[in-house]
Every structure is written in structure tokens, then in C-alpha cells.
Amino acid sequence: MDRKQKLELTWIGKYDEIKLEPRILLEDKSKGYGDPNSENMLIHGDNLLALKALEQDFAGKIKCIYIDPPYNTGNAFEQYDDNLEHSIWLNLMKPRLEIIFNLLADDGSLWISIDDDECHYLKVLCDEIFGRKNFVANVIWEKKFSPQNDAKWLSDSHDHILLYAKDKDNWRPNLLPRTAEMDERYKNPDNDPRGPWTSGDLSVKTPNPRDIYPITTPSGRIIMPPESRSWVVSKERFEELLKDNRIWFGKDGNNVPRIKRFLSEVQGGMVSKTIWFRTEVGDNQEAKREVKAFNNDDVFATPKPERLIQRILTLASNPGDLVLDSFLGSGTTAAVAHKMGRRWIGIELGDHCYTHCLPRLKAVVDGEQSGISKVVNWQGGGGFRFFELAPSLLKKDKYGNWVIDERYNADMLAAAMAKHQGFTYAPDSEVFWKQGYSFEKDYIFTTTQFVTLEYLDLIHQEMSEDESLLICCMAFQDGADKRYENINVKKIPQVILNKCDFGVESYSLNIVNLPEIDEEADDNE
Ligand SMILES: C[S@@+](CC[C@H](N)C(=O)[O-])C[C@H]1O[C@@H](n2cnc3c(N)ncnc32)[C@H](O)[C@@H]1O
């Protein structure tokens, strides 16, 4: 058999197809806070369904995605079941990462916290989805200070943060702000009007014979470049620099010449390194203290420190950009994004969406002063809206037929059908049959009424020649579907039945049943 081989990671169930239902999101105004028109979204529900729900409106629009999925370490955390078999874990991550890829802007990036248990498998999975060329770095974050002396093997003190760009050629990180410590190295011993400076070596390791020439110091000493080196600049350039008072021979004018580098001329920041120490970005203990500040009763097991997320958002986003975290946990990413003036979307499945994320984010809007607040001079403001995932649109009745879930009212049904059919739901306040559009002048109208020919004629009279309409209804009179060329009439649920899987309440990260390995088939491979 002619099989084209490729380098890939395979696992049980990798190619099982999931046909995700594009759910609508239901706003719960009682839980939103602050500005009611805010674009920030806190979503409670399974993130695979929620990411799918966002895909239509947000594909290509998100600048920075940070995720901190359960690490699959085999520990049963209080908040979620982390004990997942490796294949199941990869199966759960793959479709989520595929939608995340679609959501990212062309100049966007994904950052994933992970530990040694799955890091290297996750890397290969991400290579497959993002393309290996879009891998940027594996950042090492020092998460713990004290060694665990009871560790059986080595005391684990770091996590990985895998960084991928949607398109590495198109993505550049911002610089990190310079620290006061770095600026302290700049002095001004000769009162240069250009301000503080530091000096650098005037010679280079790879010699250029042209740049080997004698330099006379102000004290009259003649100096050649050190053995097997040359000067870094040509003789002509050296003369220019000397004239511009950019060469330093020491206080007494007798030292080996050095080149002056002015603070005012160095880059406005520093390039990030790939090792991030706890002193710079915080550690697990700092994160727990931050979470305790707003929920002391039920301490969240695995939060990240605000400073760590601040570092990521500084490198990967600018004020006003859209940031997403689909494993929101205690709400750190949303809190930090809010304080840094980014727009944000956070998704969390567990009850701590109510017990941790909600109180934390309300406190942020009110101007709380923990975490990074003081450093960014956070004064409060803004707001967020709260959403729940709608239930599945269809369910089976007692005869096994698919019917619309009774929790759907007319508006929800219209919104859901628009989403299923790829239309943007935007009901027109005057024309009842214009509930949404796909492109200009192509509309959708969903109704639970029986659509008669007469009813259709009325609608058609109102339509201009260049308009077209899709009507989704429960039933229609014979001939209605063929009456007008520019009106397409379809029945619910038939029109959507085979397009996706209905009735799946969650694709959550919990083991239900591990698929059994077909050992015979395996042996034959
Ligand atoms: C390691 S925690 C994230 C911690 C977070 N970075 C913080 O600073 O608090 C992982 C989170 O993912 C959530 N989670 C797990 N499976 C999920 C799913 N299918 N949909 C949404 N959230 C999920 C868990 O409930 C948990 O809160």
C-alpha cells in the first residue's frame, strides 16, 4: 500500500470526529458588573462549546490567548478531576487548540502553561496545529523557591510556558520595560549634556585587519587593539566619534578607549529572556496569597501570580487588544487584562466561576489594590458582562425524535438558527422577517408558525428584487418551498439535524470512559 509517511504523534481516538454544535451564549444581566455595554465577557461553561460559540464572531480577532489547562499530573485536585489518561488529555486539547488557532489574529500568539507531565506531547500536538515553524519559545518559569526535600526524585521547581505565534513572520513581542536596576548602571562622570551613559568595549573578537590602527590617548599613550582583535569601527568613524565626545579614555585620559552608550539612545526596553525568575514574575505562593485576598474560605488550588500574566500580556498585547483565557480558574488573566486596559474574554467551567472569578473581577472594577494594581496605577472602572452557554438546541422526545428544547423561547431559537446557518443575528426593529444577515441583503427569519402561501406572499411583497431570504419554520404549506426563487423555506429541525452533534452537555476534561485499545488491530499495524 502506498502510504505517505509523515512525522506525527498519534494516540487512541485522535481521528474521532466531533461535530460541535454552535451554541448561543445567554447573557445573565444580574451577574454582569460595571459598564453594561462593556465588551469584556465572563463565560460559565465548557470551553470547547464556548470557544465554538465565539468562533463565528471572533475568528481572527484575538491578539493574545493564555491557557493554563489541567496538567494531567494524576493528582485529584479539589476543583477538577485532573487524573486523565494521556490519550484522553490529548483528545481534549486538540479540538480546543484548533479553535484557538482560528480565533487568533494573524499577529496573535498563544501561551500555554504546562509542566513536565504533558509538555513535550503538547509541543508536538501544537506543532501539528500551528505548524512547527510557528513555535517561538519554551519559557521556563520558576514557580517555587523552597526545595521539596521529600521529593522521591528531583524537586520540581519550574513550569513550562509554550509560546506559539499564529504566524511567526508576522509576530514580534513588545519589549519589557527597563528596570531601575538597569538604569543605575548609567552615570555621567564627564557631565555630558546628553545625560547618563555607560561605556562599552571598543574592540571586537573577530578582527578586521582594516580596523587595526593605533589610537593616541589624551595623555599621549599609543594603544593598539588587544592581541587577535581589531577596533569595532574604522579609523574614519573613530575620528567622528572622538569629535562627538563619544570616546571615553577614563577620568585621567590615559585608559584603553571605550565607546559611550547613552541611556537616552538605548532601546526603550529590553528583550525578554526565556527564563523567568520568581523574583521578577512571582511564584505559586504569591498567586495563592493574591487569591486568598478575595476568597479566604475556599482557596483555589492552582492559581498563577498576576505578575506572570502581566509579563505575558506586556509582551504579547497592547492596550485595547482582545485577550482570551479559556481555562480561567480563579480569574487571574481577566483581572490582569482589565487592569492593563485590554479587552478580555474568560471561560470557566467550574463553580469557582461564581465563587472566585465573579467576586475577583467585581473587586477589580471597584479598584482593588492587590496583585499588579499599584504598579499599573489601577484606579478601577470599566465592567464586564456575564454569559452562560445555552443548552443544546435539540433534544430527543420520548419517541426518540429530535425536538426543540423547551427552554428555547422565540428569540433564542431565532438567534440559534441564525448561528447554525452562518448568519449574524441582528433583529431589525421595523421589519420582522429581517432577524439576521449573512451578507448584505441576504436575510434569515425563524418562526414557529405554520408558513402558509398567503403569509409568504405578504413577506415577498415587502422584499426588494435584490433581497433574498431563508425562512426556518416548523412546518409549511405544500408548495411554499418552491414559490419564490429568492425565498428558501426549510423545516426545523431537519435543516440542521446532521450538521452537528446535539444533546452533548459538556466536553469537559473529565474521564468518563476510556476507549478500549483494540489489541489485535494494534498488533497488525
Ligand atoms: C490550572 S487552572 C487555571 C488557573 C488559572 N490560570 C488561575 O490563575 O487561576 C485550570 C482551570 O481550567 C478549568 N477547566 C477544566 N476543564 C475545563 C473546561 N472543559 N472548560 C472550561 N474550564 C475548564 C478548571 O475548572 C480550572 O479552573
For residue 454, tell me if it sits in a domain.
yes
- 94-121, pLDDT tens digit by residue? 999 999 999 999 999 999 999 998 999 9
What mean pLDDT is reported for the chain?
92
Query: Of 395, 339, 416, nearest to 372 (Cα)?
Result: 339
- Statement to judge: residues 66 and 136 lie in one domain: yes
Residues 231 and 114 in one domain: no
Task: Decide which of 209, 241, 265 is a domain's last residue.
Answer: 265
> Half-sphere exposure (CA, 13 Å, Cβ side) for 29?
3
Q: Atom 25 of ligand 1 has which residue's CA nearest to it?
A: 350
Q: Tell me how far the alpha carbon of residue 327 lies from the centroid of ligand 1, in angstroms.
A: 4
What is the pLDDT, as a whole number, of residue 417?
97
For atom 14 of ligand 1, the residue with the nearest CA is 327
Tens digits of per-residue pLDDT, 319-328? 999 999 999 9
Atom nearest to 508 CA in ligand 1: 19
CA–CA separation, 230 vs 208, rounded Å?
6
- Rounded distance from Cα 517 to ligand 1 centre (Å): 29
505 falls within a domain? no
Helix (H, G, I), strand (E, B) or coil at 314: helix
Residue 381 and residue 452 in one domain: no
Determine which of 65-79, 412-426, 450-464 has the lowest per-residue pLDDT on average.
65-79
Domain identity same for 319 and 411:
no
- Cα 45 to ligand 1 centre (Å): 11
Ligand 1 proximity of 347 Cβ (cutoff 6 Å)? yes
Residue 290 confidence class, pLDDT cut points 50, 70, 90: very high
pLDDT given at position 71:
80
Instruction: Kindly report the CATH number assigned to the domain that includes residue 308.
Output: 3.40.50.150
Q: Are residues 137 and 275 in the same domain?
A: yes
DSSP 410-467: HHHHHHHHHHHTT-EE---SS-TT--EESSTTEEEEEEEEEE-HHHHHHHHHHS-TT-
Tell me: do 300 and 446 sit in the same domain: no
Report CA-CA distances (Å) from 267 to 175, 177, 188, 195, 261. 9, 10, 19, 15, 11
Indicate whether 117 belongs to any domain. yes
pLDDT of residue 513: 43
Q: Whose CA is nearest to atom 7 of ligand 1?
A: 303
- The verdict on 246 and 375 lying in the same domain is no
Supply the residue whose CA is at minimum distance from atom 2 of ligand 1.
329
Supply the residue whose CA is at minimum distance from atom 12 of ligand 1: 327
Element (DSSP H or E) covering residue 396: strand 394-396
User: Same domain for 253 and 402?
Assistant: no
Q: Is 284 in the pocket of ligand 1 (CB under 6 A)?
A: no
Residue 517 lies in a domain: no
Decide if 188 is inside a domain: yes
Does 8 score more than 70 pLDDT?
Answer: yes
Give the torsion through C-alpha atoms of 264, 267, 269, 273, to 10 deg.
Answer: -140
pLDDT over 90 at 193, yes or no? yes
Kindly indicate the confidence band of residue 517, based on its pLDDT and cuts at 50, 70 and 90: very low
State how far Cα 105 lies from the chain centre.
10
Distance 73 CA to ligand 1 centre (A): 14
Same domain, residue pair 314 and 362: yes
CB of residue 290 inside a 6 A radius of ligand 1: no
Last residue of a domain, one of 247, 265, 283: 265
Query: In the structure, what pLDDT confidence band is assigned to residue 86 with cuts at 50, 70 and 90?
Result: confident
Note whether 256 and 190 are same-domain residues.
yes
Query: Phi/psi at 480 (nearest 5 deg)?
Result: -60, -35
CATH no. for residue 482?
3.40.1350
Least confident of 148-152, 212-216, 515-519: 515-519
The verdict on the CB of residue 303 being under 6 Å from ligand 1 is: yes
Q: What is the mean pLDDT of residues 509-518?
A: 45
Residue 95, pLDDT score: 96
Centroid of ligand 1 to alpha carbon of 320 (angstroms): 25
Same domain (yes/no): 212, 146: no
In a domain, 509, yes or no: no
pLDDT band (50, 70, 90) for residue 74: low
Choose one of 100, 113, 349, 356 to mutate for the ligand 1 pocket test, by most ligand atoms within 8 angstroms of C-beta.
Answer: 349
367 C-alpha to ligand 1 centroid (Å): 25
Predicted pLDDT at 512? 39
Confidence (pLDDT) at 402: 92
| CA dist., res. 502 & res. 402, Å (int) | 9
Same domain, 302 and 370: yes
Whether 125 is covered by a domain: the verdict is yes
Q: Which long-range contacts (CB under 8 A, 24 or more apart) does 26-31 make?
A: 26/387, 26/388, 26/389, 26/390, 26/412, 27/385, 27/386, 27/387, 28/386, 28/387, 28/388, 29/385, 29/386, 31/354, 31/358, 31/386
Q: What percentage of the chain reaches a pLDDT higher than 90?
A: 82
**Relative to the CA of 291, which ligand 1 atom is closest?**
9
Report the half-sphere exposure of 95 (CA within 13 A, side-chain side). 22
Which atom of ligand 1 sits closest to the CA of residue 330? 9
The boundaries of the domain holding residue 104 are 25-177+271-389
Last residue of a domain, one of 345, 363, 389: 389
Does the beta carbon of 350 sit less than 6 angstroms from any atom of ligand 1?
yes
In tens, the pLDDT along 134-189 reads 999 999 999 999 999 999 999 999 999 999 999 999 999 999 998 888 888 899 99
Q: Check pLDDT > 50 for residue 511.
A: no
Q: Is 507 a domain residue?
A: no
Number of domains in the chain: 3
Q: Among 18, 73, 80, say which to mutate for ligand 1: greatest number of ligand atoms within 8 Å of CB.
A: 80
DSSP one-letter string for 344-355: EEEEE-STHIII
pLDDT band at 520 (very low <50, low <70, confident <90, very high): very low
Distance in Å, CA 495 to ligand 1 centroid: 35
